[in-house]
Structure 1
Amino acid sequence: MPHSGTDHQHHISQQFNKDLTMLREHLMQMGGLVEQQVSQAITAMTARDVELAEKVRDQDKQVNALEKTIDREWVNVIAMRQPAASDLRLVVASAKIVNDLERVGDEAKKIAKISIALAGLDVSDSARGFVEVRNIGRQVHGMLHNALDAFARFDTETAFQVIKEDEVVDSEYKSAMRSLVTVMMEDPRTITHILNIMWVLRALERIGDHACNVSQHVIYLIKGQDVRHISISDTESLIVK
């Protein structure tokens, strides 16, 4: 007996839902991996753990492989399923989020490489800059975790809190950089060490920016509004509607 039109539509709907579910699952898997990379990169840096830093660096291959898988999946969904409305926003947001996550992985890899270089320098664990790395590192790791949680739970309020926190991180980053420049000027022997610390702080600041981007994509997914170029207050007004 031939299938009815209704049966055919039901089959397509089931497969479409499977495709979307797989896309989200792979995206969360990638998010978990880069979140782990960031955490381990910060630990490797502050604990002078070369073995852990090398592990972070090597995980980059897994992140890149997941990025390619997710890219194939969202392209396939658009080409084969022609999603509409909220489903299309999920696909578009996922495509943007995967790009930010890949860049987070790149920044974690940079921190790991610098950690390996710093381990070869004759500096103590109490040397200037490690406190700043711990503090800002803890903040941006929390931002990334919350941004991914906001995506998993379709939570605009958590996403908005991440966007707000990015301003705090930016302020602390600028303050830390000014302080470290003063240290270098006062003691030229610290220049190599401090420059490496500055590159790490820059990588952490960029991770915060990408976590903010992920949160903006989450708001777009849920509200259908692009908040990348509007003020914090306007974004908040959109959230509370």
Structure 2
Amino acid sequence: MSNHTEDGAMANHPDTPHQHTSKQYDHELLDIRNRVLTLGGLVEEQVESAVASLVEGNVDLAERVIADDYKVNSMEVAIDEECTQIIALRQPAARDLRLVVAVIKTITDLERIGDEAKRMARIAVDLSNYAPRRSQLSDLQHLAKHVRGLLREALDAFARMDVDEALRVVEEDHQVDQEYESITRQQITYMMEDPRAIPIALSIMWSARALERIGDRSCNICEYVIYYAKGKNIRHVSIEQVAADLRRPQ
């Protein structure tokens, strides 16, 4: 798991929220950013453990992931409440408001990534009664490694509010989509060849789908980074156009 929370580095970064006359306000804005990264670290652990439980057939680990999901939910609720307090009491404007909005949206995606990890853990429990082919687990493991990398890079981009890194993550997501589609086609072939393989193949497909969704939500986090840093909403713009606009000399 990456360590994304670096108070000193964050406080001195040019994209840190502007200094205000109220030091308490500055502390509140910095605190919600750090708490997002703490939540991100917990979610990373959940995803890593869920994947390991699938690949290793480790039911105990899977059940621990399921049991720990409440930690993700509780942390998401607490950060959301803090953001609500900031909006109500501080009435942030411009860049500060974009930060609070980006935090609220980011924690929602992180909570849903936690849900996908729990979903994979439940699949791991079901799959423990079967014997998947080594190639099935190998392909899933490769996709999981790629997706975990995207999540880590998305959190790093958030930690530094790094637009270039955020854009790289968004551009890389198509590779995850291609791997997911490849796994899906392979599992359909297995089911057509042998109906007895259907339960295993479906479990692999659902797990791959959960990983693909984690990749999508990692991209969402990067879109919020770009929104905060540049004031641009890129959700409905092609990645080629976004890259061209952001990389165009000012």
TM-score (norm 2): 0.89
Task: Kindly indicate whether residue 212 of structure 2 is the aligned counterpart of residue 201 of structure 1.
Answer: no
Would you say the 8 A contact 1:46–1:125 is kept in 2?
no
Distance 1:194 1:225, change over 3 A: same
Residue equivalent to 1:55: 64
1:174 pairs, out of 177, 181, 187, with 181
Task: Give the 5 Å matches for 1:204-219.
Answer: 204-219=211-226
C-alpha deviations, 1:143-193, integer Å up to 9, x for none?
000000000011111111110111111112112111110111001111111
**Which letter does structure 2 place at the counterpart of 1:93?**
A
Residue equivalent to 1:6: none
Counterparts of 2:82 and 2:21 in 1: how far apart (Å)?
16
- What displacement does 1:12 show? 6.0
Unaligned runs of 5+ in 2: 1-18
TM-score (norm 1): 0.92
**Which letter does structure 2 place at the counterpart of 1:78?**
I
2:75 pairs, out of 58, 66, 77, with 66
Task: Kindly indicate whether residue 100 of structure 2 is the aligned counterpart of residue 91 of structure 1.
Answer: yes
C-alpha deviations, 1:93-128, integer Å up to 9, x for none?
00100110000000000000100111122x1562x5
C-alpha deviations, 1:210-236, integer Å up to 9, x for none?
001011111101111001110111111
Task: Kindly indicate whether residue 116 of structure 2 is the aligned counterpart of residue 111 of structure 1.
Answer: no
Residue equivalent to 1:23: 32
Counterparts of 2:20 and 2:145 in 1: how far apart (Å)?
46
Task: Kindly indicate whether residue 241 of structure 2 is the aligned counterpart of residue 234 of structure 1.
Answer: yes
- What displacement does 1:11 show? 8.8
**SS of corresponding position for 2:22:** helix
Counterparts of 2:21 and 2:117 in 1: how far apart (Å)?
40
Counterparts of 2:20 and 2:152 in 1: how far apart (Å)?
36
Residue equivalent to 2:90: 81
Task: Kindly indicate whether residue 210 of structure 2 is the aligned counterpart of residue 190 of structure 1.
Answer: no
Counterparts of 1:181 and 1:142 in 2: how far apart (Å)?
27
Runs of 4+ in 1 over 4 A off after TM superposition: none
Residue equivalent to 2:54: 45
**SS of corresponding position for 1:129:** helix
Counterparts of 1:176 and 1:57 in 2: how far apart (Å)?
25
Counterparts of 2:141 and 2:93 in 1: how far apart (Å)?
44
Residue equivalent to 2:15: none
Would you say the 8 A contact 1:150–1:156 is kept in 2?
yes
- Max Rg structure: 1
Unaligned runs of 5+ in 1: 1-9
Residue equivalent to 1:7: none
**Which letter does structure 1 place at the counterpart of 2:154?**
A
Would you say the 8 A contact 2:140–2:183 is kept in 1?
no
Counterparts of 2:43 and 2:237 in 1: how far apart (Å)?
28
Residue equivalent to 2:12: none
**SS of corresponding position for 1:228:** coil
**Which letter does structure 1 place at the counterpart of 2:99?**
L
C-alpha deviations, 1:42-97, integer Å up to 9, x for none?
11110111111111111211000001101101111111001111111100000100
Residue equivalent to 2:144: 137
Task: Report how many residues are paired.
Answer: 230
Would you say the 8 A contact 1:97–1:214 is kept in 2?
yes
